[in-house]
Amino acid sequence: MKKIIPLFSFLLLTIPGIYAQSAKKLHKKAILIDTHNDVLSSAVLDGIDISHRVKEGHSDLERWKEGGLDVQFFSVWTGEKARNKEGFFRDAEQQIDSLGILLLKNPQRMTLARTYKEVTRGVHQNKLVALIGVEGGHMIEDDLSKLQQLYELGMRYMTLTWNNSTSWATSAMDETKRGDSLSHKGLTDFGKQVVRKMNELGVIVDLSHVGEQTFYDAMAITTKPVILSHSSVWNICPVFRNVKDEQIKAVAKNGGVICINFYSGFIDSNFAKKMAELEGSKGKQIKDSLNQYYDAAKMNEIWRQHFSAELEPVRPTLAKMVDHIDYIVKLVGDDYAGIGSDFDGVSSLPKGLDDVTSYPKITEELLKRGYSEKSVKKILGGNVMRVMKANF
Ligand SMILES: [Zn+2]
């Protein structure tokens, strides 16, 4: 017995190590693609050089390397109010320029891809492959020639709406919160023209952020597979931005991919409830009381600190995020799930997924759950590769 017990304990101790080791190998071998990162609007545009390791935020070139990332869709995002007086289109151009500067500074480490071939070439050169995803159809300013211009500047997906609707497509936020007061729901005739033009040019139709009506209208006319660049599962966390089972099945039928958003409030319903509670009456009280003493910027900073302190105990774990991948795989198979972190665009992340160095832990968790190497490779990037190939 004396000999058996230590042997048993030894085996038990090494099992997690075995996963970690094979996960590391697999993670290195696999093509890892993240379809959504907001570092351009949150840092690069403000002059922060992410060529080097930076303390703030979730991403930079050094940390991407550590995390084993191969392909990044850089989100070009602007909110309901344009930053530039010239408008949304100018905002998009400016952000694309900021990515251009980053690429010029790092020709050995990064490359911009406009075709599927350029993606595979960049991956084989061991560079971080950058692609441009425009988040929010308002940036084309109701003008198909601006859609064409953004395509020429490198845009390879466009999210039809952000939280704000356009004159031609309604958003998830508006369809759920404004409902009956909307003058139209879904895609207008012009909206359908936009989708057709995207198919024709080779710009992936991204259906994150859009309302259900817009989703089904777009699905009815697209001739190419779509993505949801950063959305999670409604049945696990029923919030307006997440997708229902019927939508997941429709994406599978279309051959598209749903890339899971890591935001704590989209993956865990307890966190979402706590967030809503804080934003409600209690939050307002705190905001009002602080308002007397501080300017708006300082107040927001204090408010953020307060938020994170209260929310820390209810932060979900990495396993909870992987539950969303699991759910999609069980519902429709392993060809339709991917990674769309929303790093640098969210205020809270699950424990263990703190920044872009954390990706290998996802591979480890998938292996622990019994996923085959082949399945893991599809989820990490293979599925998005398929959609890119079908589009450009
Ligand atoms: Zn978003």
Distance 166 CA to ligand 1 centre (A): 15
pLDDT at 1: 44
Distance 349 CA to ligand 1 centre (A): 15
pLDDT at 3: 46
Distance 77 CA to ligand 1 centre (A): 8
| Total domains present in the chain | 1
pLDDT at 382: 98
Distance 129 CA to ligand 1 centre (A): 21
- Cα 273 to Cα 212, 239, 265, 308, 342, distances in angstroms: 22, 10, 8, 15, 20
Q: Does a structural domain hold residue 288?
A: no
- Cα 287 to Cα 271, 292, 313, distances in angstroms: 20, 9, 21
Distance 73 CA to ligand 1 centre (A): 13
* pLDDT tens readout for residues 228-257: 999 999 999 999 999 999 999 999 999 999
Sequence-distant (6+) residues with CB within 8 A of 167 are 142, 188, 190
Between CA 169 and CA 138 the distance in angstroms is 10
Q: Does a structural domain hold residue 261?
A: yes
Between CA 131 and CA 89 the distance in angstroms is 18
Between CA 277 and CA 274 the distance in angstroms is 5
* pLDDT tens readout for residues 324-333: 999 999 999 9
Between CA 276 and CA 274 the distance in angstroms is 5
Percent of the chain whose pLDDT exceeds 90: 79
Q: Does a structural domain hold residue 298?
A: no
- Cα 135 to Cα 161, 199, 308, 331, distances in angstroms: 7, 17, 26, 28
Distance 25 CA to ligand 1 centre (A): 32
Encode the chain (392 residues) as per-residue pLDDT tens digits.
Answer: 444 455 555 555 556 667 778 899 999 999 999 999 999 998 999 899 999 999 989 999 999 999 999 999 999 999 989 999 999 999 999 999 999 999 999 999 999 999 999 999 999 999 999 999 999 999 999 999 999 999 999 999 999 999 999 999 999 999 998 877 888 999 999 999 999 999 999 999 999 999 999 999 999 999 999 999 999 999 999 999 999 999 999 999 999 999 999 999 999 999 999 888 887 766 677 667 666 555 555 665 666 677 778 888 999 999 999 999 999 999 999 999 999 999 999 988 999 999 999 999 999 999 999 999 999 999 999 999 999 999 99
pTM above 0.85, yes or no: yes
Distance 227 CA to ligand 1 centre (A): 13
For residue 352, what is the DSSP state?
T
Q: Does a structural domain hold residue 286?
A: no
Structural domain for 195, as ranges:
4-268+316-391
Identity (one letter) of the amino acid at 211?
G
pLDDT at 19: 75
Q: Does a structural domain hold residue 248?
A: yes
Q: Does a structural domain hold residue 300?
A: no
Distance 239 CA to ligand 1 centre (A): 14
Q: Does a structural domain hold residue 296?
A: no
Report the CATH number that the domain containing residue 385 is assigned in CATH.
Answer: 3.20.20.140
Question: Strands 71-77, 33-37: parallel, antiparallel or unpaired by DSSP?
Answer: parallel
Distance 295 CA to ligand 1 centre (A): 28
Distance 6 CA to ligand 1 centre (A): 51
Q: Are 328 and 291 in contact (CB under 8 A)?
A: no
Q: Does a structural domain hold residue 119?
A: yes
Structure tokens at 125: 């050169």
Distance 15 CA to ligand 1 centre (A): 38
